[in-house]
Amino acid sequence: DAGVIQSPRHEVTEMGQEVTLRCKPISGHDYLFWYRQTMMRGLELLIYFNNNVPIDDSGMPEDRFSAKMPNASFSTLKIQPSEPRDSAVYFCASSFSGGNTEAFFGQGTRLTVV
């Protein structure tokens, strides 16, 4: 397996634009996590899914952020409208059976909102 695949690797956008980050988890994994990494807050859990169903989205900062998982092999994190304070590295991770095994991370998407 190629591991968790995220796209794009880098995204630069203007304030107010919509941004969509994409993730392909490892085949067979039933948990998918979205994290944001910033200088101030470190690695924050935004939302996680189990079997394509959102379980806990309490980490999503505000309504501008939304995440979907239409099937077991694809998830998106959308920011609309984007703001400069959304600039961060966004990671997707997947695992099998959640708390029994480690989560595998993608390479991340570095988002810059100008």
Partner 1 sequence: GESVGLHLPTLSVQEGDNSIINCAYSNSASDYFIWYKQESGKGPQFIIDIRSNMDKRQGQRVTVLLNKTVKHLSLQIAATQPGDSAVYFCAENIFEAAGNKLTFGGGTRVLVKP
Q: Which residues contact partner 1 (rule: CB under 8 A)?
A: 4, 6, 9, 31, 33, 35, 37-39, 42-43, 45, 48, 50, 55-56, 88-89, 91, 93, 95, 97-100, 102-110
CB of 91 closer than 8 Å to CB of 105 = yes
Q: 43 - beta bridge partners? A: 37
- CA-angle at 13, arms to 110 and 76, nearest 5°: 60
The one-character DSSP state at 25 is P
CB nearer partner 1, residue 16 or residue 106: 106
Residue 34 beta carbon to partner 1: minimum distance, rounded to whole angstroms:
11
Beta carbon nearer to partner 1, 12 or 16: 12
Alpha-carbon distance 113 to 102, whole Å?
A: 32
- For partner 1, the closer CB: 16 or 85: 85
